[in-house]
Structures are given as structure tokens and as C-alpha cells.
Amino acid sequence: MDTEGLRRALVRDGRVLGRWLPAAVFIPITIPLVVLLLQGWIAGRDWPGNDANLYRSAAAAWLAGGDPWLVGDANASFAGSPLTVLAFVPAMLIPEAIFRPAAVLVSWAAGAWLIRHFRLPWYWLAFPPLVAGAMLANPGVIAIALVCGPLAWLGSVLKVFMVVPTVGDRRWHSLVGAALVGVVSVLAFPSLWATYLRDLPMVSARLLHDLHYQGTLFMTPWLIPIGLLGLLALARVDLRAACWLAVPALWPAAEYHYGVFLMPAGAPVLGIFMAIGSSPVATAAIAVYGFGRFAIATRSGQRWRERYLHPLTRGA
């Protein structure tokens, strides 16, 4: 029996399967997702660029002397930080009719840049969390691209939780820059921060209500310590990946587009699970990934590779 030929065939087929399996999962999910979004737009619930326009409306409310955290409707409400409000003030210079499509185009450009930057196959443009985030122009997609580029500090200003992957990337100057912006904003706009702190309980409760259809970690609290342990195990061997995956794994009200975090994390295998759209499923998958990476990096994992994996890949 030609065992060497069999091993080579297994490795070849495994590589092909690993490369194209995500596409086989992404496309069947993305097509009905796009149809669902189109139905929402036809019904007047959601429109292209709706998320970005919500943030713009919050900035407009603040400039008019109102409360930004009262902006929203039955489908979505503003829950960003005061820094996010300030970041969208320049958007008031652009008419809404132009801002919406421009925000969608910038979001898609950010997603395409991430795919090219991390050398992912182009079918990742059909990655469902990216499609949802880009079509609605959620600032999170742009923030992820910013943190991966030279304007990492601006990504942390746009979305405060981007501080976590910035730490993983060891972009200390960017962290200092974001912190300085935060301090200046508190000194310059204390009333905005006071309003935010007053509204924070309401904002948190409303955000969880808005995301109830996706499922949150509060529905499965027993997964939180498991996810944390998985991230700690991953951090022992890859701190950068652990920091990038911390937000989709442990953020209490994780949104669907948070699946884009796995692209900079260098963990495309998780795309299949992120595409499902459930926060508990994503947390469990990330925990298993962390434990697996740690096990493979240990001595027992090294022995396993030497005994089973190396013979398969040798000469392939």
C-alpha cells in the first residue's frame, strides 16, 4: 500500500477543504441575509447606511442641545460613547442623502482592505458579518480597519473597545493618543460625559433589548468563564490573537458584525461559527480555539505533531 501517496492526498484534500469550506458556508447564509436586509429596506425599517446615520443623528442631537442617547427608534438606538458622538460631528457637514451611500462605500472599502491586508481569499467579501456591517455602515467595521492601519488611535476613539486589540498589537503610541483625546474631551465637554454617565443604565438595558434576537452572553452566563479561560489559554501562546478575539467572545452585547474581529486575529477557521450569528456559539468556538492552540503549543501537542502531523506533511 502506498502510504506516502495516501498521506500526500490527505494533506492536499485537507488544504483544499480548509480553503473552500468557509465559502460553502458563507454564501448560503449571505444570500438570505441580503434578502432579509432588502425586505427591511422595502418595509422602511432599515436602509443602507442606517447604522452610520444613527450615529450622525446622535451627533446632530447633541449639537442641537439634546441628549444623544435618546436618539433611535424601535429597531435601533444609539449606544456609543461620548467620543463616538464627537467623532461624528464632522459628518454634519455632509448632507444625509450623500452621507448614507458614502458610509456604505467606505465600509465596503474597509472590508476589502482587511481582506487584502491579511491575504484572505476574496470570497471573504461574502463573509456574513462583514456583509451585514458594511451594508448598514456600522462604524465597527471601519474602526477595525483603522486599528490595523496607521490611525489606530482613531479606531479606539470611534469604538472604545478597540483599545483591547490595540493592546494586543502593542500600539502604545496609539493608546496614548486615544487617551489624550479622551482626557481633552472630558475637560472640554464635561456636560456630554455627565449626560452619558446618567444615561448609562438606560443605554445598557436598551442595547441588550435591541440585540435580543441575536442572543447574548447574559442568556448563557455559564459560557463567560469558559470563554475567559479559553482566551487566557490562547494568550499564553498568542497574546495578539487573544486580544482581537476578546471582544466577540466576551462583550456582553456583541453584535453580528463583531465576527470581523477574527480577520485580524489570524483565525479564519472561526469564520464558519461567526457566520451563524449567535454570540454564545461564537464564545464557545473561540474558547475551543484557544484551548486547542494552547494544547498544540505544549509538549504533549508537540509530541502529537511529531507523531501524526509531521508524517502527513513531510514531502507534501
44 band by pLDDT with thresholds 50, 70 and 90: low
219 band by pLDDT with thresholds 50, 70 and 90: low
Residue 292 belongs to some domain of the structure: yes
Residue 238 belongs to some domain of the structure: yes
Which amino acid, 8?
R
Residue 310 belongs to some domain of the structure: no
Residue 122 belongs to some domain of the structure: yes
As a whole number, mean pLDDT of residues 130-135 equals 92
Task: Among 38-47, 79-88, 152-161, name the one with the lowest average pLDDT.
Answer: 38-47
Give Cβ neighbours of residue 271 (< 8 Å, ≥ 6 apart): 22, 25, 26, 124, 127, 259, 262
Which amino acid, 286?
I
As a whole number, mean pLDDT of residues 265-291 equals 87
**Domain span including residue 86:** 3-303
Task: Among 30-34, 68-72, 186-190, name the one with the lowest average pLDDT.
Answer: 30-34
pLDDT (0 to 100) of residue 46: 62
Mean of the per-residue pLDDT values of the chain: 83
Residue 14 has pLDDT above 60, yes or no: no
DSSP state letter for 72:
B
- Domains in the chain: how many in total? 1
Region of 120 (left: φ > 0; alpha: ψ -120 to 50; beta: rest) is beta
As a whole number, mean pLDDT of residues 193-207 equals 89
Percentage of the chain exceeding pLDDT 70? 81
Residue 308 belongs to some domain of the structure: no
Q: What are the helix and strand counts (H, E) for the chain?
A: 17, 0
- Cα separation, 61 vs 223, whole angstroms: 38
Q: How far is CA 37 from CA 32, 104, 193, in A?
A: 9, 14, 34
- Cα separation, 15 vs 27, whole angstroms: 20
pLDDT (0 to 100) of residue 145: 96
pLDDT (0 to 100) of residue 102: 95
Residue 228 belongs to some domain of the structure: yes
As a whole number, mean pLDDT of residues 152-156 equals 94
Residue 311 belongs to some domain of the structure: no
Residue 315 belongs to some domain of the structure: no
pLDDT (0 to 100) of residue 143: 96
